[in-house]
Amino acid sequence: MRYDTEQQILESEYQFQELIESSKNPIYILVGRQFALVNTAWLNMFEFTRSEVESPDFSIHQIVAPESLDLIQRRHDNFLSGISQPFRYEMKAVSKTGKKFDLDVSVTHLNWHGKHAVQGVYRNITGIKKIEKKLRKALKESREHDQMKTAFLSNLSQEIQASLTNIRETAFDLSRKHNESENVKEFANYIVNTSSNLLDHINDIIDISKIEMGRMTLNPEKFNLPDLIKDVMQYFLPSATNKGIELICCKKKKNSVYVLADPTRVRQIFINMMSNAIKYTEKGKININYVLRQDDVRISIADTGIGIAPEKLRKIYESFINPNEKLSGDYDGSGLGLTVTRSLVQLMGGKIWVESNSGGGSIFYFTIPLA
């Protein structure tokens, strides 16, 4: 009976060793700092002979690279003090002839001939680590490159902005001169309108650059929201009337709602959303509304225009859309307005969202904090 049990133990130990031996990954059993068992894959990786490893002077420190000695010492100390630690970790190892490896190590605890031991499997991840390093470097370089491009674009746009502003102002003065012919005034008006359009795009590019470089600054102050809305309504009345669109606002609303935000930027948000509402609506109406909530005001701009198809909704805030992928057919646009708008709303601590459907109009919402 006793003989049978001993025989069974020997047989299962033999099978265990066979299993370990057949693995292509280096496997070991460690008792304290000494290796009780290593497989051939382990010997091949570290270039030691089995008798060298079995010598009582041989310890795990002989295959640990200097940069990982602390880690292995700490794990050993934690093991002795019973502190639990991850069963998977990474280390750097070194072979007898000085070849270095990055290893992914998986360990389990087991009883080895009555002693508490650790069984480990090494996976050589040197190649993966090299690729990871290259990728990190490439990512860093591409970020730096991107920042340089953004800064360059921002500088260039500011130059263009200054020149365009001059052109527009000169053309505007010309269009108002009494002694100029109607022809000249018409040309001057054309220049005013075109340069205004260009300036809008340039301003969007400057804002995007500022946001991307983290240099967008806001000047929050307490102001009356309904006054600003009235102002925006006045501004858009001519273009809406031109297209036969009715502008509706704030029926039965209070005259004073004080918010805490940057008024210039809130005006910019309104202007962007209202220009879009007018641009993408051929007939019907645009309704501006606001609802007071506990900490903020929720503003909505609803139009009866072409709407946005569900598959395009998530793309409307993206800065750079492939021109072949235009979201709204033949309508012109840089596609930067909503990107800037969303960043501005978020910088002010608010939220922006849209409810829309192809052909069913759109409702854009955003929130700003109450004063």
Q: How far is the CB of 161 from ligand ADP (least distance, A)?
A: 18
The rounded Cα 77 to chain-centroid distance in angstroms is 40
Q: Which is nearer to ligand ADP, 120 or 337 (CB)?
A: 337
Count of CB atoms situated within 10 Å of the CB of 298: 16
Q: Which is nearer to ligand ADP, 195 or 272 (CB)?
A: 272
Interface size with ligand ADP, residues (CB under 6 A): 20
Q: Which is nearer to ligand ADP, 232 or 306 (CB)?
A: 306
Check residue 335 for interaction with ligand ADP (CB under 6 A): yes
Which of 171, 338, 345, 348: binder of ligand ADP (CB under 6 A)? 338
Phi-psi region of 113 (alpha: psi -120 to 50; beta: other; left: phi over 0): left
Interaction with ligand ADP in 38-57: which residues (CB under 6 A)?
A: none
Q: Which is nearer to ligand ADP, 162 or 309 (CB)?
A: 309
- The helix (run of H) or strand (run of E) holding residue 249 is strand 245-249
Taking the C-alpha atoms of residue 328 and residue 357, their distance in angstroms, rounded to an integer, is 13
Q: Which is nearer to ligand ADP, 343 or 362 (CB)?
A: 362
Quick one: angle between helices 263-279 and 225-243, nearest 10? 20
User: Which SS3 state, helix, strand or coil, does residue 324 take?
Assistant: helix
Q: Smallest Cα–Cα separation from 356: which of 332, 328, 334?
A: 328
Tokens of 125: 């991840």
Check residue 199 for interaction with ligand ADP (CB under 6 A): no
Q: How far is the CB of 327 from ligand ADP (least distance, A)?
A: 3
Check residue 73 for interaction with ligand ADP (CB under 6 A): no
User: Which SS3 state, helix, strand or coil, does residue 28 take?
Assistant: strand
Q: Which is nearer to ligand ADP, 60 or 306 (CB)?
A: 306
Q: Smallest Cα–Cα separation from 30: which of 66, 68, 62, 65?
A: 62
Q: Smallest Cα–Cα separation from 259: which of 299, 225, 229?
A: 225
User: Which SS3 state, helix, strand or coil, does residue 91 take?
Assistant: strand
Q: Which stretch binds ligand ADP (CB under 6 A): 25-33, 117-125, 210-218, 332-340?
A: 332-340
Site string for ligand ADP, 238-277 (x = CB under 6 A): ----------------------------------x---xx
Which of 316, 344, 345, 352: binder of ligand ADP (CB under 6 A)? 316
By CB atoms closer than 10 A (0-12, 13-18, 19+), residue 318 is middle
Which of 36, 153, 199, 327: binder of ligand ADP (CB under 6 A)? 327
Check residue 280 for interaction with ligand ADP (CB under 6 A): yes
Which chain residues interact with ligand ADP by CB under 6 A? 272, 276-277, 280, 303, 305-308, 316, 327-328, 333-339, 362
